[in-house]
Amino acid sequence: MQDILQMKIEEMPGLEFDCSCGRHHSFSVQGISIRKGAIEDLPRMAAPFKDDKILIVFDSNTYRVAGETAVRLLRENGFTKVKELLFDTGSDILIPDERTLGRILQEQDLDCKLMIAVGSGVINDSVKFVTSRTGLPFIIVATAPSMDGYVSDGAPIFSHGYKYSPQAHLTYGLVGDTDILKTAPQDMIQAGFGDVVGKITAIADWDLAVKANGDYRCDTCVRLVEKALEKCFAKAEGLPERDPEALGALMEALTMTGVAMALVNISRPASGAEHMLSHFWEMDYIDRGLNPIHHGIQVGVATVVIARFFEELADILPEGTAALCPPAREIEALLRKGGAPASPKEIGISRTLFHESLIKGWTVRPRYSILQFAKDRERLTALADQLTEEFYG
């Protein structure tokens, strides 16, 4: 088998191997295409379903930037049973709730064999959830490099106004066309970048959990993510100008994190204490009936904060762990280079919420992290006070 670390992301679909971590890894995604003009690869990716009924889902915006082209390409290439579902919400934002999910289910005819989701967050999550329950494969045509959920088996949706993330399934294929991604609003690009920056502390946190808590780790997956991060960070200054190469590297880093998660079947490669802070903030916003700030924007900001934990606790961290996390001010500079916000105050997190999240963030999920480490070593309260003063003055 070719060394996975030398592979291009397009070569990874269908991959299966015995890993140095002692486990057998497999990756069920069948096709990935991330490049300029990648939408032209859609008919080839969907070819096994050429004679079948296909349901393609978009909203008015994603129809305009990608859906229209997707339908045309399929028809030109001999796909005759393509059924369209357009969510026309006007100025309202689409929510992945009972109404949206039910609508998709209603449009899934008995002889439908494949769904294609054209969009990012909501359309991706909705189609992912419905197809996971009805047992159909789906292909995602991404319209924004905004999060790492394209290749992940979770689908954040709403039930009775409450957000949760039930397990769904992995996509059959992913199309990330940089000509389409560059039409994404700047805040969605910032969010994707923030989510990628978050992998820095996620990986340091994973190392801590291995050394201080005896958790499992796969070094191959860590290297996969690190390589994608290096490439993305090297091109970060092109993001504010929507440079196609920078957007491609961002999309690849988001996707590679998904690949790594799928290989080890846990979200460790993608999410550590920085995600706990962001989830804590998000839950507070939802509790108060407010629209939360983009996930990745919160994550990017939280990464700077968690990096301060690694700095302040360096004296008691296991050997080698502190070195995995760069100084907080470097992470802040990196976020700025990519045009993303870098402080909790700047994105409107209140001082009270910030302090509370540092103290209680470890309760968000049962997972060992630097927050738990600080709590167990009785350093959490003092650190929370110190950092709140530092970030809010």
Residues found near Zn ion in the complex (CB under 5 A): 19, 21, 195, 218, 220
C-beta closer to Zn ion: residue 63 or 233: 233
C-beta closer to Zn ion: residue 19 or 359: 19
C-beta closer to Zn ion: residue 49 or 280: 280
CB of 25 to Zn ion, least distance (A): 6
CB of 83 to Zn ion, least distance (A): 32
C-beta closer to Zn ion: residue 82 or 155: 155
CB of 130 to Zn ion, least distance (A): 22
C-beta closer to Zn ion: residue 125 or 195: 195
C-beta closer to Zn ion: residue 263 or 317: 263
CB of 218 to Zn ion, least distance (A): 3
Place of tokens 């954040």: 156
For residue 4, give the amino acid letter.
I
C-beta closer to Zn ion: residue 220 or 372: 220
Per-position b or e across 359-372, b if 16+ CB within 10 A of its CB: bbbbebeebbbbbb
CB of 273 to Zn ion, least distance (A): 12
CB of 20 to Zn ion, least distance (A): 6
**3-class SS letters over the chain:** CCCHHHCCHHHCCCCEEECCCCCEEECCCCEEEEECCHHHHHHHHCHHHCCCEEEEEEEHHHHHHHHHHHHHHHHHCCCCCEEEEEECCCCCCCCCCHHHHHHHHHHCCCCEEEEEEECCHHHHHHHHHHHHHHCCCEEEECCCCCCCCCCCCECCEEECCEEECCECCCCCEEEEEHHHHCCCCHHHHHHHHHHHHHHHHHHHHHHHHHHHHCCCCCHHHHHHHHHHHHHHHHCHHHCCCCCHHHHHHHHHHHHHHHHHHHHHCCCCCCCCHHHHHHHHHHHHHHHCCCCCCCHHHHHHHHHHHHHHHHHHCCCCCCCCCHHHCCCHHHHHHHHHHCCCCCCCCCCCCCHHHHHHHHHHHHHCCCCCCHHHHHHHCCCHHHHHHHHHHHHHC
C-beta closer to Zn ion: residue 46 or 262: 262
CB of 55 to Zn ion, least distance (A): 28
Place of tokens 């992290």: 369
CB of 221 to Zn ion, least distance (A): 6
C-beta closer to Zn ion: residue 91 or 167: 167
CB of 341 to Zn ion, least distance (A): 15
